[in-house]
Structure 1
Amino acid sequence: MSLSLTLRRLAPQSMKNFLRRRTLPWRISKQLSPHLPAVVCVDVGASYYPHVKWLQFLNAPNTQWLAVEPNEANIGYVKSWSWRSQVSTCTTGLSRDGGIQTLYVTNVDSGSSLLPPEITPSMQHRITKLDYFFPVTERRIETLTLIQAMAGLSAVAPVFVKLDTQGTELSILQGAQRLFDEQRIVGIEMESTMLAQPLMKNSGKFWQACEYLEQQGFELLHIKPIAAAPRSMRTRPNRNTYMHECDAVFALRQDVAAGLSVEHRTSLLAFYLTNLFYEEALSLLERDNDVTAFLRTRGCDVETLASTLKTAI
Protein backbone atom coordinates (compact mmCIF):
# COMPACT_ATOMS: atom_id res chain seq x y z
CA MET A 1 0.00 0.00 0.00
CA SER A 2 1.36 3.43 -0.95
CA LEU A 3 2.21 6.01 1.71
CA SER A 4 -0.29 8.51 0.26
CA LEU A 5 -3.11 5.93 0.37
CA THR A 6 -2.21 5.00 3.94
CA LEU A 7 -2.28 8.65 5.00
CA ARG A 8 -5.66 9.17 3.33
CA ARG A 9 -7.09 6.22 5.20
CA LEU A 10 -5.68 7.38 8.53
CA ALA A 11 -6.80 10.99 8.15
CA PRO A 12 -9.83 11.92 10.29
CA GLN A 13 -13.11 12.39 8.43
CA SER A 14 -13.25 16.07 9.39
CA MET A 15 -9.94 16.65 7.60
CA LYS A 16 -11.12 14.68 4.55
CA ASN A 17 -14.28 16.80 4.40
CA PHE A 18 -12.22 20.00 4.72
CA LEU A 19 -9.91 18.99 1.87
CA ARG A 20 -12.78 17.79 -0.32
CA ARG A 21 -14.54 21.12 -0.03
CA ARG A 22 -11.47 22.86 -1.40
CA THR A 23 -11.58 20.92 -4.66
CA LEU A 24 -12.80 22.58 -7.85
CA PRO A 25 -16.21 20.84 -8.05
CA TRP A 26 -17.00 21.83 -4.47
CA ARG A 27 -15.91 25.42 -5.04
CA ILE A 28 -18.13 25.60 -8.11
CA SER A 29 -21.02 24.07 -6.19
CA LYS A 30 -20.69 26.71 -3.49
CA GLN A 31 -20.94 29.42 -6.17
CA LEU A 32 -23.75 27.84 -8.22
CA SER A 33 -25.88 25.32 -6.32
CA PRO A 34 -27.76 27.77 -4.05
CA HIS A 35 -28.99 29.66 -7.13
CA LEU A 36 -30.21 26.78 -9.32
CA PRO A 37 -33.87 26.52 -10.33
CA ALA A 38 -36.18 23.73 -9.24
CA VAL A 39 -35.13 20.39 -10.77
CA VAL A 40 -36.02 16.74 -10.25
CA CYS A 41 -33.22 14.16 -9.97
CA VAL A 42 -34.20 10.49 -10.01
CA ASP A 43 -31.59 7.95 -8.87
CA VAL A 44 -32.85 4.54 -10.04
CA GLY A 45 -30.93 1.81 -8.27
CA ALA A 46 -29.90 4.07 -5.39
CA SER A 47 -28.27 1.53 -3.10
CA TYR A 48 -25.88 2.46 -0.31
CA TYR A 49 -25.16 6.16 -1.00
CA PRO A 50 -25.86 9.08 -3.36
CA HIS A 51 -23.06 9.64 -5.86
CA VAL A 52 -21.08 12.69 -4.78
CA LYS A 53 -20.30 13.65 -8.39
CA TRP A 54 -23.90 14.92 -8.50
CA LEU A 55 -23.09 17.48 -5.81
CA GLN A 56 -24.15 20.44 -7.98
CA PHE A 57 -27.72 19.17 -7.58
CA LEU A 58 -27.34 17.46 -4.20
CA ASN A 59 -26.23 20.81 -2.72
CA ALA A 60 -29.10 22.74 -4.34
CA PRO A 61 -32.07 23.57 -2.05
CA ASN A 62 -34.45 23.55 -5.03
CA THR A 63 -33.56 19.98 -6.08
CA GLN A 64 -36.13 17.26 -5.47
CA TRP A 65 -34.01 14.11 -5.14
CA LEU A 66 -35.83 10.78 -5.52
CA ALA A 67 -33.95 7.64 -4.47
CA VAL A 68 -35.52 4.57 -6.11
CA GLU A 69 -34.47 1.26 -4.57
CA PRO A 70 -36.68 -1.81 -3.91
CA ASN A 71 -34.36 -3.02 -1.14
CA GLU A 72 -35.29 -0.53 1.55
CA ALA A 73 -32.38 -1.58 3.76
CA ASN A 74 -29.96 -0.25 1.12
CA ILE A 75 -31.23 3.35 1.32
CA GLY A 76 -31.02 3.84 5.05
CA TYR A 77 -28.67 6.74 4.33
CA VAL A 78 -31.63 9.01 3.58
CA LYS A 79 -32.45 9.03 7.32
CA SER A 80 -29.30 11.05 7.92
CA TRP A 81 -29.46 13.11 4.73
CA SER A 82 -26.92 15.94 5.01
CA TRP A 83 -27.37 17.52 1.58
CA ARG A 84 -29.42 20.68 1.01
CA SER A 85 -31.64 19.03 -1.59
CA GLN A 86 -35.07 17.65 -0.67
CA VAL A 87 -34.93 13.85 -0.57
CA SER A 88 -37.73 11.29 -0.91
CA THR A 89 -37.72 7.56 -1.60
CA CYS A 90 -39.52 5.01 -3.75
CA THR A 91 -39.10 1.39 -2.64
CA THR A 92 -40.96 -0.11 -5.60
CA GLY A 93 -38.97 -1.34 -8.60
CA LEU A 94 -39.33 0.31 -11.99
CA SER A 95 -40.16 -1.26 -15.34
CA ARG A 96 -41.17 -0.08 -18.79
CA ASP A 97 -44.90 -0.74 -18.37
CA GLY A 98 -45.34 -1.04 -14.60
CA GLY A 99 -47.61 -3.62 -13.00
CA ILE A 100 -46.75 -7.12 -11.81
CA GLN A 101 -43.40 -8.37 -13.13
CA THR A 102 -41.09 -11.30 -12.42
CA LEU A 103 -37.97 -10.46 -10.44
CA TYR A 104 -35.11 -12.90 -11.01
CA VAL A 105 -33.24 -13.01 -7.71
CA THR A 106 -29.69 -14.16 -8.35
CA ASN A 107 -27.60 -16.06 -5.83
CA VAL A 108 -25.69 -12.84 -5.12
CA ASP A 109 -28.63 -10.49 -4.87
CA SER A 110 -26.80 -7.47 -6.34
CA GLY A 111 -27.25 -9.15 -9.73
CA SER A 112 -31.03 -9.47 -9.42
CA SER A 113 -33.03 -8.11 -12.33
CA LEU A 114 -36.37 -8.13 -14.12
CA LEU A 115 -34.42 -9.95 -16.85
CA PRO A 116 -33.32 -13.57 -16.43
CA PRO A 117 -29.59 -14.37 -16.53
CA GLU A 118 -28.57 -16.32 -19.62
CA ILE A 119 -25.09 -17.66 -20.25
CA THR A 120 -25.01 -18.11 -24.04
CA PRO A 121 -22.49 -20.37 -25.84
CA SER A 122 -20.40 -17.31 -26.75
CA MET A 123 -20.00 -16.45 -23.05
CA GLN A 124 -19.59 -19.88 -21.47
CA HIS A 125 -15.79 -19.87 -21.66
CA ARG A 126 -15.72 -16.45 -19.97
CA ILE A 127 -18.21 -16.96 -17.12
CA THR A 128 -16.79 -19.73 -14.97
CA LYS A 129 -18.14 -18.68 -11.57
CA LEU A 130 -21.80 -19.39 -12.13
CA ASP A 131 -22.61 -19.18 -8.42
CA TYR A 132 -22.86 -15.40 -8.78
CA PHE A 133 -26.03 -15.92 -10.81
CA PHE A 134 -27.30 -19.39 -9.95
CA PRO A 135 -29.43 -20.69 -8.44
CA VAL A 136 -32.02 -18.08 -9.44
CA THR A 137 -35.27 -17.59 -7.53
CA GLU A 138 -38.27 -16.09 -9.30
CA ARG A 139 -40.51 -13.69 -7.42
CA ARG A 140 -43.56 -11.77 -8.63
CA ILE A 141 -43.36 -8.12 -7.64
CA GLU A 142 -45.26 -4.89 -8.21
CA THR A 143 -43.46 -2.29 -10.36
CA LEU A 144 -44.02 1.31 -11.40
CA THR A 145 -43.10 3.26 -14.49
CA LEU A 146 -40.65 6.13 -14.13
CA ILE A 147 -43.53 8.58 -14.55
CA GLN A 148 -45.55 6.86 -11.82
CA ALA A 149 -42.55 6.91 -9.46
CA MET A 150 -42.31 10.68 -9.94
CA ALA A 151 -45.90 11.29 -8.83
CA GLY A 152 -45.92 14.02 -6.18
CA LEU A 153 -42.81 15.73 -7.52
CA SER A 154 -42.79 18.85 -9.68
CA ALA A 155 -44.77 18.38 -12.88
CA VAL A 156 -42.85 21.05 -14.81
CA ALA A 157 -39.25 21.13 -13.52
CA PRO A 158 -36.36 19.82 -15.65
CA VAL A 159 -35.58 16.17 -14.95
CA PHE A 160 -32.28 14.29 -14.61
CA VAL A 161 -32.15 10.51 -14.40
CA LYS A 162 -29.43 8.15 -13.19
CA LEU A 163 -30.03 4.44 -13.88
CA ASP A 164 -28.32 1.22 -12.78
CA THR A 165 -30.84 -1.62 -12.99
CA GLN A 166 -29.04 -4.66 -14.41
CA GLY A 167 -30.13 -4.39 -18.03
CA THR A 168 -33.53 -2.63 -17.91
CA GLU A 169 -32.21 0.94 -18.04
CA LEU A 170 -33.20 1.61 -21.65
CA SER A 171 -36.65 0.03 -21.30
CA ILE A 172 -37.38 2.19 -18.23
CA LEU A 173 -36.57 5.30 -20.27
CA GLN A 174 -38.69 4.08 -23.17
CA GLY A 175 -41.58 3.69 -20.75
CA ALA A 176 -41.27 7.41 -19.94
CA GLN A 177 -41.72 8.60 -23.54
CA ARG A 178 -44.13 11.31 -22.39
CA LEU A 179 -41.31 12.99 -20.48
CA PHE A 180 -39.26 13.08 -23.68
CA ASP A 181 -42.20 14.34 -25.71
CA GLU A 182 -42.66 17.16 -23.18
CA GLN A 183 -38.88 17.80 -23.24
CA ARG A 184 -38.69 17.49 -19.49
CA ILE A 185 -35.59 15.29 -19.38
CA VAL A 186 -32.33 17.23 -19.74
CA GLY A 187 -29.61 14.78 -18.67
CA ILE A 188 -29.15 11.03 -18.23
CA GLU A 189 -26.43 8.85 -16.71
CA MET A 190 -26.90 5.15 -17.31
CA GLU A 191 -25.14 1.83 -17.21
CA SER A 192 -25.36 -0.18 -20.43
CA THR A 193 -24.08 -3.53 -21.65
CA MET A 194 -21.42 -3.67 -24.36
CA LEU A 195 -21.81 -7.40 -24.95
CA ALA A 196 -23.09 -8.84 -28.23
CA GLN A 197 -25.02 -11.38 -26.14
CA PRO A 198 -25.73 -9.82 -22.73
CA LEU A 199 -25.70 -11.87 -19.56
CA MET A 200 -29.18 -10.60 -18.67
CA LYS A 201 -31.46 -11.72 -21.49
CA ASN A 202 -32.79 -8.91 -23.71
CA SER A 203 -30.79 -6.18 -21.98
CA GLY A 204 -30.83 -2.84 -23.75
CA LYS A 205 -27.47 -2.44 -25.49
CA PHE A 206 -25.34 0.69 -25.56
CA TRP A 207 -25.80 1.26 -29.30
CA GLN A 208 -29.56 0.96 -28.87
CA ALA A 209 -29.50 3.57 -26.10
CA CYS A 210 -27.49 5.90 -28.35
CA GLU A 211 -29.93 5.43 -31.22
CA TYR A 212 -33.01 5.98 -29.05
CA LEU A 213 -31.67 9.03 -27.22
CA GLU A 214 -30.40 10.69 -30.39
CA GLN A 215 -33.95 10.42 -31.69
CA GLN A 216 -35.08 12.32 -28.59
CA GLY A 217 -32.63 15.18 -29.22
CA PHE A 218 -29.78 14.01 -26.97
CA GLU A 219 -26.07 13.69 -27.56
CA LEU A 220 -23.52 11.39 -25.97
CA LEU A 221 -21.22 13.46 -23.77
CA HIS A 222 -19.09 10.81 -22.14
CA ILE A 223 -18.55 7.06 -22.02
CA LYS A 224 -16.57 5.14 -19.41
CA PRO A 225 -15.88 1.64 -20.77
CA ILE A 226 -15.68 -1.11 -18.17
CA ALA A 227 -13.72 -4.21 -19.11
CA ALA A 228 -14.45 -7.61 -17.59
CA ALA A 229 -12.41 -8.56 -14.56
CA PRO A 230 -9.75 -11.16 -15.38
CA ARG A 231 -10.54 -14.65 -14.15
CA SER A 232 -7.35 -14.59 -12.11
CA MET A 233 -8.60 -11.34 -10.48
CA ARG A 234 -5.09 -9.94 -11.04
CA THR A 235 -4.89 -6.85 -13.21
CA ARG A 236 -1.67 -6.39 -15.15
CA PRO A 237 -0.44 -3.59 -17.42
CA ASN A 238 -0.70 -4.16 -21.17
CA ARG A 239 -3.19 -6.98 -20.72
CA ASN A 240 -6.74 -6.69 -22.07
CA THR A 241 -10.00 -8.39 -21.23
CA TYR A 242 -13.19 -8.14 -23.26
CA MET A 243 -15.45 -5.09 -22.99
CA HIS A 244 -18.29 -5.81 -20.58
CA GLU A 245 -20.34 -2.66 -19.97
CA CYS A 246 -20.08 1.10 -19.75
CA ASP A 247 -21.32 4.12 -17.89
CA ALA A 248 -22.65 6.68 -20.36
CA VAL A 249 -23.72 10.31 -19.97
CA PHE A 250 -26.23 11.88 -22.37
CA ALA A 251 -27.41 15.49 -22.43
CA LEU A 252 -30.02 17.38 -24.39
CA ARG A 253 -28.33 19.06 -27.36
CA GLN A 254 -27.85 22.80 -26.93
CA ASP A 255 -29.75 23.62 -30.12
CA VAL A 256 -32.73 21.70 -28.69
CA ALA A 257 -32.37 23.27 -25.24
CA ALA A 258 -32.26 26.72 -26.87
CA GLY A 259 -35.98 26.46 -27.53
CA LEU A 260 -36.80 25.60 -23.92
CA SER A 261 -37.12 27.68 -20.76
CA VAL A 262 -34.20 29.45 -19.11
CA GLU A 263 -34.63 27.02 -16.21
CA HIS A 264 -33.91 24.11 -18.55
CA ARG A 265 -30.82 25.77 -19.95
CA THR A 266 -29.52 26.70 -16.49
CA SER A 267 -30.00 23.14 -15.30
CA LEU A 268 -28.11 21.93 -18.39
CA LEU A 269 -25.24 24.17 -17.29
CA ALA A 270 -25.25 22.44 -13.89
CA PHE A 271 -25.32 19.01 -15.55
CA TYR A 272 -22.24 19.92 -17.59
CA LEU A 273 -20.48 20.84 -14.35
CA THR A 274 -21.67 17.64 -12.64
CA ASN A 275 -19.76 15.73 -15.31
CA LEU A 276 -16.73 18.08 -15.38
CA PHE A 277 -17.46 19.55 -18.82
CA TYR A 278 -16.04 22.95 -17.93
CA GLU A 279 -15.59 24.19 -21.50
CA GLU A 280 -19.19 23.36 -22.38
CA ALA A 281 -20.43 25.08 -19.24
CA LEU A 282 -18.34 28.21 -19.78
CA SER A 283 -19.38 28.42 -23.43
CA LEU A 284 -23.05 28.24 -22.48
CA LEU A 285 -22.58 30.82 -19.73
CA GLU A 286 -20.81 33.25 -22.09
CA ARG A 287 -23.31 32.89 -24.96
CA ASP A 288 -26.66 32.66 -23.18
CA ASN A 289 -27.50 36.09 -21.78
CA ASP A 290 -30.80 34.84 -20.41
CA VAL A 291 -29.03 32.24 -18.27
CA THR A 292 -26.58 34.77 -16.84
CA ALA A 293 -29.41 37.23 -16.16
CA PHE A 294 -31.45 34.46 -14.51
CA LEU A 295 -28.55 33.48 -12.23
CA ARG A 296 -27.87 37.11 -11.30
CA THR A 297 -31.48 37.67 -10.26
CA ARG A 298 -31.10 34.66 -7.94
CA GLY A 299 -27.98 36.08 -6.31
CA CYS A 300 -25.23 34.29 -8.22
CA ASP A 301 -21.95 36.11 -8.84
CA VAL A 302 -21.71 35.10 -12.49
CA GLU A 303 -18.34 36.82 -13.06
CA THR A 304 -16.72 34.88 -10.21
CA LEU A 305 -18.27 31.63 -11.46
CA ALA A 306 -16.96 32.28 -14.99
CA SER A 307 -13.51 33.10 -13.60
CA THR A 308 -13.47 29.84 -11.66
CA LEU A 309 -14.43 27.87 -14.77
CA LYS A 310 -11.64 29.52 -16.76
CA THR A 311 -9.10 28.18 -14.26
CA ALA A 312 -10.31 24.66 -15.08
CA ILE A 313 -9.77 24.95 -18.82
Structure 2
Amino acid sequence: MNKSAFTAAALPLAARVAAFEARAAAPRARAAAREAIIATVGALMCGSGSESARRLAENAGTRAANGPCLVAGTTRRTAMPDAALANGAAASAGGQETGDGSGEGHATRFAALFALAEARKLSGQRFHAAWLAGEAAAHSFERAAPTVAPGLSAILATVAAASHLLHLDAAATAAALVLGASTTNETDLEAAAHGDALATPLRAGQRARTALQAVMLAEQGETGAAAHLTPDDTLIEALAQAAATFGDIPDATPPAHLSCDAFVARCSGAIGASEALALYERLEAIDEASDIALLGTLMARRALPGAAGASAPLALSTTPGDGSDETAWVP
Protein backbone atom coordinates (compact mmCIF):
# COMPACT_ATOMS: atom_id res chain seq x y z
CA MET A 1 0.00 0.00 0.00
CA ASN A 2 1.65 3.26 -1.00
CA LYS A 3 1.42 6.49 0.92
CA SER A 4 -0.92 8.29 -1.45
CA ALA A 5 -3.36 5.36 -1.68
CA PHE A 6 -3.76 4.93 2.06
CA THR A 7 -3.90 8.65 2.81
CA ALA A 8 -6.48 9.11 0.06
CA ALA A 9 -8.54 6.29 1.59
CA ALA A 10 -8.30 7.78 5.09
CA LEU A 11 -9.15 11.37 4.12
CA PRO A 12 -12.94 10.99 3.59
CA LEU A 13 -13.36 9.37 7.01
CA ALA A 14 -11.01 11.93 8.56
CA ALA A 15 -13.05 14.77 7.10
CA ARG A 16 -16.22 13.36 8.63
CA VAL A 17 -14.53 12.93 12.01
CA ALA A 18 -13.26 16.52 11.94
CA ALA A 19 -16.71 17.84 11.01
CA PHE A 20 -18.62 15.65 13.48
CA GLU A 21 -21.19 17.64 15.46
CA ALA A 22 -22.00 15.99 18.77
CA ARG A 23 -24.98 18.29 19.40
CA ALA A 24 -26.71 16.70 16.42
CA ALA A 25 -26.56 13.24 18.01
CA ALA A 26 -29.85 11.74 19.11
CA PRO A 27 -30.73 12.20 22.81
CA ARG A 28 -30.55 8.45 23.38
CA ALA A 29 -27.08 8.33 21.86
CA ARG A 30 -25.93 11.13 24.15
CA ALA A 31 -27.47 9.38 27.16
CA ALA A 32 -25.88 6.09 26.15
CA ALA A 33 -22.50 7.81 25.97
CA ARG A 34 -22.84 9.10 29.53
CA GLU A 35 -23.92 5.68 30.79
CA ALA A 36 -20.98 4.02 29.01
CA ILE A 37 -18.53 6.53 30.49
CA ILE A 38 -19.91 5.96 34.01
CA ALA A 39 -19.69 2.17 33.59
CA THR A 40 -16.15 2.43 32.23
CA VAL A 41 -14.98 4.62 35.12
CA GLY A 42 -16.58 2.17 37.56
CA ALA A 43 -14.70 -0.65 35.86
CA LEU A 44 -11.48 1.39 35.90
CA MET A 45 -11.68 2.08 39.63
CA CYS A 46 -12.61 -1.54 40.35
CA GLY A 47 -9.76 -2.82 38.18
CA SER A 48 -7.16 -0.42 39.55
CA GLY A 49 -6.37 -2.97 42.26
CA SER A 50 -6.13 -5.93 39.89
CA GLU A 51 -2.90 -7.86 39.42
CA SER A 52 -2.35 -6.57 35.89
CA ALA A 53 -2.97 -2.94 36.95
CA ARG A 54 -0.62 -3.27 39.92
CA ARG A 55 2.13 -4.68 37.71
CA LEU A 56 1.83 -1.80 35.27
CA ALA A 57 1.59 0.81 38.02
CA GLU A 58 4.82 -0.50 39.52
CA ASN A 59 6.87 -0.54 36.32
CA ALA A 60 9.55 2.03 35.65
CA GLY A 61 7.49 4.01 33.14
CA THR A 62 4.53 4.70 35.40
CA ARG A 63 6.80 5.56 38.32
CA ALA A 64 7.99 8.66 36.44
CA ALA A 65 7.80 11.66 38.73
CA ASN A 66 5.71 14.78 38.19
CA GLY A 67 3.77 13.63 35.14
CA PRO A 68 0.49 15.34 34.25
CA CYS A 69 -1.71 12.22 34.15
CA LEU A 70 -3.15 10.11 36.92
CA VAL A 71 -2.75 6.35 37.22
CA ALA A 72 -6.27 5.82 38.58
CA GLY A 73 -6.60 4.45 42.09
CA THR A 74 -3.05 5.49 43.01
CA THR A 75 -1.23 8.69 43.91
CA ARG A 76 1.05 8.35 40.87
CA ARG A 77 1.12 10.77 37.98
CA THR A 78 3.02 9.99 34.82
CA ALA A 79 3.30 10.77 31.10
CA MET A 80 0.24 10.51 28.86
CA PRO A 81 1.19 7.27 27.05
CA ASP A 82 2.06 5.45 30.28
CA ALA A 83 -1.14 6.60 32.00
CA ALA A 84 -3.16 5.43 28.99
CA LEU A 85 -1.45 2.02 29.17
CA ALA A 86 -2.08 1.58 32.90
CA ASN A 87 -5.65 2.92 32.92
CA GLY A 88 -6.67 0.99 29.82
CA ALA A 89 -5.48 -2.23 31.40
CA ALA A 90 -7.22 -1.44 34.69
CA ALA A 91 -10.52 -0.59 32.99
CA SER A 92 -10.42 -3.82 30.99
CA ALA A 93 -9.59 -5.87 34.09
CA GLY A 94 -12.38 -4.21 36.04
CA GLY A 95 -14.84 -4.82 33.23
CA GLN A 96 -14.02 -8.52 33.33
CA GLU A 97 -14.52 -8.60 37.09
CA THR A 98 -17.81 -6.69 37.21
CA GLY A 99 -19.21 -8.20 34.03
CA ASP A 100 -20.90 -4.92 33.18
CA GLY A 101 -20.06 -5.11 29.50
CA SER A 102 -17.97 -1.96 29.37
CA GLY A 103 -15.78 -3.79 26.89
CA GLU A 104 -12.20 -3.49 25.71
CA GLY A 105 -13.16 -0.84 23.16
CA HIS A 106 -14.57 1.46 25.84
CA ALA A 107 -11.61 0.77 28.14
CA THR A 108 -9.21 1.69 25.34
CA ARG A 109 -11.12 4.82 24.38
CA PHE A 110 -11.57 6.15 27.90
CA ALA A 111 -7.92 5.63 28.84
CA ALA A 112 -6.63 7.54 25.82
CA LEU A 113 -9.18 10.37 26.04
CA PHE A 114 -8.78 10.77 29.80
CA ALA A 115 -4.98 11.02 29.61
CA LEU A 116 -5.16 13.56 26.81
CA ALA A 117 -7.97 15.65 28.31
CA GLU A 118 -6.40 15.64 31.77
CA ALA A 119 -2.99 16.72 30.49
CA ARG A 120 -4.47 19.48 28.32
CA LYS A 121 -7.10 20.48 30.93
CA LEU A 122 -9.92 20.12 28.42
CA SER A 123 -13.61 20.42 29.25
CA GLY A 124 -16.13 17.68 29.82
CA GLN A 125 -18.11 18.94 26.85
CA ARG A 126 -15.18 18.24 24.55
CA PHE A 127 -14.62 14.86 26.20
CA HIS A 128 -18.27 13.86 25.74
CA ALA A 129 -18.26 15.03 22.12
CA ALA A 130 -15.07 13.08 21.44
CA TRP A 131 -16.59 9.96 23.00
CA LEU A 132 -19.56 10.26 20.64
CA ALA A 133 -17.21 10.69 17.67
CA GLY A 134 -15.43 7.53 18.76
CA GLU A 135 -18.74 5.73 19.10
CA ALA A 136 -19.71 6.77 15.57
CA ALA A 137 -16.36 5.52 14.26
CA ALA A 138 -16.69 2.24 16.18
CA HIS A 139 -20.13 1.55 14.68
CA SER A 140 -18.79 2.38 11.22
CA PHE A 141 -15.93 -0.07 11.56
CA GLU A 142 -18.28 -2.73 12.91
CA ARG A 143 -20.23 -2.44 9.67
CA ALA A 144 -16.99 -2.96 7.76
CA ALA A 145 -16.31 -6.23 9.64
CA PRO A 146 -14.90 -8.79 9.11
CA THR A 147 -12.41 -6.89 6.97
CA VAL A 148 -10.95 -5.11 10.01
CA ALA A 149 -9.70 -6.99 13.08
CA PRO A 150 -11.54 -6.00 16.28
CA GLY A 151 -8.35 -4.72 17.88
CA LEU A 152 -7.51 -2.50 14.91
CA SER A 153 -11.09 -1.21 14.89
CA ALA A 154 -10.73 -0.26 18.56
CA ILE A 155 -7.49 1.59 17.88
CA LEU A 156 -8.85 3.46 14.86
CA ALA A 157 -12.07 4.41 16.68
CA THR A 158 -9.97 5.71 19.57
CA VAL A 159 -7.77 7.63 17.14
CA ALA A 160 -10.91 9.21 15.68
CA ALA A 161 -12.15 10.15 19.17
CA ALA A 162 -8.82 11.62 20.28
CA SER A 163 -8.41 13.52 17.00
CA HIS A 164 -11.84 15.05 17.52
CA LEU A 165 -10.95 15.89 21.12
CA LEU A 166 -7.99 17.95 19.88
CA HIS A 167 -10.02 19.49 17.02
CA LEU A 168 -7.51 18.20 14.46
CA ASP A 169 -8.32 19.05 10.86
CA ALA A 170 -8.98 16.40 8.21
CA ALA A 171 -5.36 16.14 7.06
CA ALA A 172 -4.01 15.66 10.59
CA THR A 173 -6.80 13.20 11.45
CA ALA A 174 -5.98 11.17 8.32
CA ALA A 175 -2.32 11.14 9.35
CA ALA A 176 -3.34 9.89 12.81
CA LEU A 177 -5.41 7.08 11.27
CA VAL A 178 -2.45 6.09 9.13
CA LEU A 179 -0.17 6.10 12.17
CA GLY A 180 -2.67 4.07 14.19
CA ALA A 181 -2.73 1.39 11.50
CA SER A 182 1.00 1.42 10.82
CA THR A 183 2.06 0.97 14.46
CA THR A 184 -0.26 -1.97 15.15
CA ASN A 185 0.71 -5.63 15.12
CA GLU A 186 -2.64 -7.07 16.15
CA THR A 187 -1.63 -10.64 15.31
CA ASP A 188 1.03 -10.61 18.02
CA LEU A 189 -1.36 -9.07 20.54
CA GLU A 190 -4.05 -11.65 19.85
CA ALA A 191 -1.56 -14.53 20.06
CA ALA A 192 -0.19 -13.27 23.38
CA ALA A 193 -3.69 -13.10 24.81
CA HIS A 194 -4.44 -16.77 24.19
CA GLY A 195 -4.69 -18.58 27.51
CA ASP A 196 -3.33 -15.64 29.55
CA ALA A 197 -5.77 -13.85 31.86
CA LEU A 198 -3.41 -10.89 32.25
CA ALA A 199 -2.95 -10.39 28.51
CA THR A 200 -6.46 -9.10 27.74
CA PRO A 201 -6.17 -6.07 30.06
CA LEU A 202 -2.64 -5.44 28.83
CA ARG A 203 -3.90 -5.55 25.27
CA ALA A 204 -6.50 -2.84 25.99
CA GLY A 205 -3.84 -0.67 27.57
CA GLN A 206 -1.46 -1.16 24.65
CA ARG A 207 -4.20 -0.15 22.22
CA ALA A 208 -4.91 3.01 24.22
CA ARG A 209 -1.24 3.95 24.19
CA THR A 210 -0.90 3.21 20.47
CA ALA A 211 -3.91 5.38 19.59
CA LEU A 212 -2.74 8.22 21.82
CA GLN A 213 0.77 8.22 20.40
CA ALA A 214 -0.61 8.21 16.84
CA VAL A 215 -2.69 11.32 17.53
CA MET A 216 0.14 13.12 19.32
CA LEU A 217 2.52 12.47 16.43
CA ALA A 218 -0.06 13.58 13.87
CA GLU A 219 -0.63 16.77 15.85
CA GLN A 220 3.09 17.44 15.57
CA GLY A 221 3.00 17.04 11.77
CA GLU A 222 4.08 13.43 11.22
CA THR A 223 2.83 12.29 7.81
CA GLY A 224 5.25 9.60 6.62
CA ALA A 225 3.89 6.49 8.30
CA ALA A 226 1.91 5.19 5.31
CA ALA A 227 5.13 4.36 3.48
CA HIS A 228 5.77 1.57 6.02
CA LEU A 229 2.38 -0.15 5.77
CA THR A 230 2.08 -3.61 4.27
CA PRO A 231 -0.20 -3.54 1.21
CA ASP A 232 -3.76 -4.23 2.37
CA ASP A 233 -6.60 -3.53 -0.03
CA THR A 234 -9.15 -4.74 2.53
CA LEU A 235 -8.17 -1.93 4.90
CA ILE A 236 -8.60 0.65 2.15
CA GLU A 237 -12.06 -0.76 1.42
CA ALA A 238 -12.95 -0.77 5.13
CA LEU A 239 -11.97 2.89 5.46
CA ALA A 240 -14.17 3.74 2.50
CA GLN A 241 -17.10 1.85 4.02
CA ALA A 242 -16.55 3.51 7.40
CA ALA A 243 -16.53 6.94 5.78
CA ALA A 244 -19.82 6.19 4.04
CA THR A 245 -21.61 5.32 7.29
CA PHE A 246 -19.79 7.52 9.82
CA GLY A 247 -22.03 9.63 12.02
CA ASP A 248 -24.91 7.18 12.02
CA ILE A 249 -24.98 6.26 15.73
CA PRO A 250 -27.84 3.81 16.30
CA ASP A 251 -30.65 5.40 18.30
CA ALA A 252 -30.77 2.43 20.64
CA THR A 253 -31.89 2.20 24.24
CA PRO A 254 -29.04 3.26 26.54
CA PRO A 255 -27.24 0.46 28.40
CA ALA A 256 -28.45 -0.61 31.82
CA HIS A 257 -28.12 2.25 34.27
CA LEU A 258 -25.36 1.77 36.85
CA SER A 259 -26.83 2.98 40.12
CA CYS A 260 -24.93 5.30 42.40
CA ASP A 261 -24.75 2.63 45.11
CA ALA A 262 -23.29 0.08 42.69
CA PHE A 263 -20.79 2.64 41.38
CA VAL A 264 -19.65 3.57 44.89
CA ALA A 265 -19.26 -0.12 45.75
CA ARG A 266 -17.03 -0.64 42.70
CA CYS A 267 -14.86 2.32 43.67
CA SER A 268 -14.64 1.56 47.38
CA GLY A 269 -11.47 -0.50 47.11
CA ALA A 270 -9.58 2.39 45.53
CA ILE A 271 -11.05 5.63 46.91
CA GLY A 272 -13.38 6.71 49.69
CA ALA A 273 -17.16 6.77 49.52
CA SER A 274 -17.34 10.58 49.52
CA GLU A 275 -14.97 10.78 46.54
CA ALA A 276 -16.90 8.05 44.71
CA LEU A 277 -20.21 9.83 45.28
CA ALA A 278 -18.83 13.14 44.04
CA LEU A 279 -17.26 11.39 41.06
CA TYR A 280 -20.57 9.75 40.12
CA GLU A 281 -22.40 13.08 40.29
CA ARG A 282 -19.87 14.74 38.01
CA LEU A 283 -19.90 11.89 35.52
CA GLU A 284 -23.67 12.17 35.25
CA ALA A 285 -23.13 15.74 34.03
CA ILE A 286 -19.77 15.19 32.36
CA ASP A 287 -20.62 17.44 29.45
CA GLU A 288 -20.91 20.34 31.91
CA ALA A 289 -17.53 19.86 33.62
CA SER A 290 -15.15 22.76 33.11
CA ASP A 291 -12.01 20.63 33.36
CA ILE A 292 -11.61 16.85 33.15
CA ALA A 293 -8.62 17.14 35.50
CA LEU A 294 -11.14 17.63 38.33
CA LEU A 295 -12.22 14.02 37.81
CA GLY A 296 -8.61 12.95 38.22
CA THR A 297 -8.56 14.55 41.67
CA LEU A 298 -11.43 12.29 42.71
CA MET A 299 -10.01 9.18 41.05
CA ALA A 300 -6.73 9.35 42.96
CA ARG A 301 -6.08 7.42 46.15
CA ARG A 302 -5.71 9.96 48.94
CA ALA A 303 -3.75 8.78 51.97
CA LEU A 304 -2.87 10.67 55.12
CA PRO A 305 0.87 10.92 55.88
CA GLY A 306 1.97 7.67 57.47
CA ALA A 307 -1.22 5.81 56.54
CA ALA A 308 -0.93 2.40 54.92
CA GLY A 309 -2.63 3.34 51.65
CA ALA A 310 -6.09 4.06 53.06
CA SER A 311 -8.10 6.79 51.45
CA ALA A 312 -8.80 9.84 53.55
CA PRO A 313 -12.25 11.42 53.20
CA LEU A 314 -12.54 14.74 51.45
CA ALA A 315 -14.28 17.83 52.74
CA LEU A 316 -16.15 19.67 50.00
CA SER A 317 -16.33 23.44 50.09
CA THR A 318 -17.44 25.93 47.48
CA THR A 319 -14.56 27.92 46.06
CA PRO A 320 -15.12 31.45 47.39
CA GLY A 321 -15.44 34.51 45.31
CA ASP A 322 -15.35 33.14 41.76
CA GLY A 323 -19.06 32.61 41.20
CA SER A 324 -18.42 29.01 40.18
CA ASP A 325 -20.16 25.89 41.36
CA GLU A 326 -16.89 23.94 41.15
CA THR A 327 -15.55 22.62 44.45
CA ALA A 328 -12.25 22.71 46.21
CA TRP A 329 -11.06 19.32 47.36
CA VAL A 330 -9.36 19.46 50.73
CA PRO A 331 -7.90 16.47 52.59
Report the TM-score range of the alignment, normalised by the length of the smaller protein: under 0.3
Higher normalized contact order (CA 8 Å, seq sep 6+, divided by chain length): 2
Q: Which has the larger radius of gyration?
A: 1
The alignment's TM-score, normalised by the length of structure 1, stands at 0.24
Q: Which structure is higher in helix share?
A: 2
